[in-house]
């Protein structure tokens, strides 16, 4: 999914409220689904990292020629390319998930704003200008 596309769609076009309201549900749903998918990808990557660390630990223990402390073995495991690569991938996935989660919250807030704007636009069609101004001032 194109993150930037959804970021650009956050802005509400008040001149076409009907389309905005109709699209809100679909856009919000797509963003929430992407955030959820990424959450599970992060969980799978955590599991993969644990597996890589375990396999690397076995390899390190096999290759050790002299007695090492537990901390030394842990340090060796952490520096193996497979482990550092899996950790980097996990960090990148967490960052992407966080971005989509924040965007999902923004779409939730966009929905609330749309609801209020629809109400205001409905009042504007049925009210005189003084009532509209009072209504807007009361909301602030």
Q: Convert the pLDDT of each residue in 23-53 to its tens digit.
A: 999 999 999 999 999 999 999 999 999 999 9
Q: Is residue 1 part of a domain?
A: no
Question: Is 134 within a domain?
Answer: no
Residue 37 in domain = yes
Q: Are the beta carbons of 12 and 20 closer than 8 angstroms?
A: yes
Domain assignment of residue 135, yes or no: no
What DSSP string runs through 80-140?
A: SHHHHHHHHHHHHHHHHHHHHHHHHHHHHHHHHHHHHHHHHHHHHHHS-HHHHHHHHHHH-
Q: How many domains in the chain?
A: 1
pLDDT in tens, 80-139: 999 999 999 999 999 999 999 999 999 999 999 999 998 887 776 666 566 656 666 666
Residue 4 lies in a domain: no
- Cβ atoms of 123 and 131 within 8 Å: the answer is yes
| pLDDT value, residue 37 | 97
Tell me if 88 sits within 8 A of 125, measured CB to CB.
no
Task: Supply the range of the domain harboring residue 62.
Answer: 18-127
What is the pLDDT of the chain when averaged over all its residues? Answer: 90
86 in a structural domain: yes
**35 or 1, higher pLDDT:** 35
Structure tokens at 133: 């101004």
Residue 36: Cβ within 10 Å count: 14
């Amino acid at each position: 999914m194109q993150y930037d596309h959804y970021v650009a769609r956050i802005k509400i076009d008040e001149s076409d409220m009907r389309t905005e309201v109709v699209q809100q549900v679909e856009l919000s749903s797509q963003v929430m689904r992407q955030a959820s998918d990424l959450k599970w990808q992060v969980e799978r990557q955590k599991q993969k990292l644990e597996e890589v660390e375990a396999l690397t630990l076995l390899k390190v223990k096999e290759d050790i020629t002299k007695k090492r402390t537990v901390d030394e073995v842990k340090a060796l495991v952490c520096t193996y390319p497979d482990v550092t690569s899996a950790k980097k991938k996990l960090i990148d996935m967490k960052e992407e998930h966080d971005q989509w989660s924040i965007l999902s919250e923004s779409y939730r807030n966009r929905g609330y704003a749309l609801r209020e704007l629809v109400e205001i636009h409905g009042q504007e069609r049925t009210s005189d200008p003084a009532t509209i101004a009072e209504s807007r001032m009361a909301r602030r």
